[in-house]
Structure formats: C-alpha cells, structure tokens
Amino acid sequence: MLDHFLNSLKYDDNGLITAVVQDHANGDVLMVAYMNREAVARTLTSGRTCFWSRSRRKYWVKGETSGNIQAVKAVYVDCDKDCLVVKVDQTGAACHEGYRTCFFRQVDSDGNETVVRERLSEAY
C-alpha cells in the first residue's frame, strides 16, 4: 500500500516533492523543504521528518544534530499530488537561524523586511 502511494506522487524533474511543514497545534508554517520518494517513505514510517538536501545531496532528519526534532502527527497530500503538508510537534527552533519558524520576516508593500518573531536560540 505504501509503494502505491509513493508511486502516485508527482515528483519534479529532479525526483523531488515540496513539503510544507506546519505546527500541528497552531498551524504556523515552520519551514518548506524537499523530499524524494525515499524521504517520504522514511517520514511516514519513522514518525520523524526526513528531507533530501539539494545542496549536500544527502538525506537529513530534522533535529539529528541540533536536537530540534519534528515529531510527525499527520501528512496530507494536495489534489494534484505534487505537494505535501506535514503537521508536526516541533521541539525548539525549526529554522537554522534559531527561530521557531523560517518565516520570521514580514514584507511590506515597499519590499521592506521586518523581523516579527523572536529568536529561540543561536544559529546552528
């Protein structure tokens, strides 16, 4: 059954699918990353988010070095099957810059950026 689902997803030309990671409790968007078929399978079977790093060309499990883990509570697929939403319980910062969410800057109509979230920890 899992293979059927994994095969039904629409991966891009690089074999990747976008994964939007949301806080399970409040719906905050924590981060956006990419998964390939194996990363989706690992996420579904392990209960921890696993991604494909495009820059490092390897798998990474969120929190394996920082301790800021994401415990998977639910995974949703969109109507086109080309994007996932992963609902998680986030421990610590989701952002590599030390913020709870990667979306910590708000942009106004003039393009000015304002930091609207507090940093939880030093960048790692």
Q: Tell me what pLDDT residue 124 has.
A: 54
Instruction: Assign 25 a pLDDT band (cuts: 50, 70, 90).
Output: very high
Identify the architecture of domain 2-96 in CATH.
Roll (3.10)
Res. 123: pLDDT tops 80: no
List, for residues 58-109, the tens digit of each pLDDT value. Answer: 999 999 988 999 999 999 999 999 999 999 999 999 999 999 999 999 999 9
What residue spans define the domains of the chain? 2-96
- 13: nearest Cα among 33, 41, 32, 36: 36
Phi and psi (nearest 5°) for 108?
-95, 180
The whole-model pTM stands at: 0.92
CA angle 67/102/42 to nearest 5° reads 50
- Mean pLDDT (the chain) is 95
CA dist 115 and 98 (Å) reads: 13
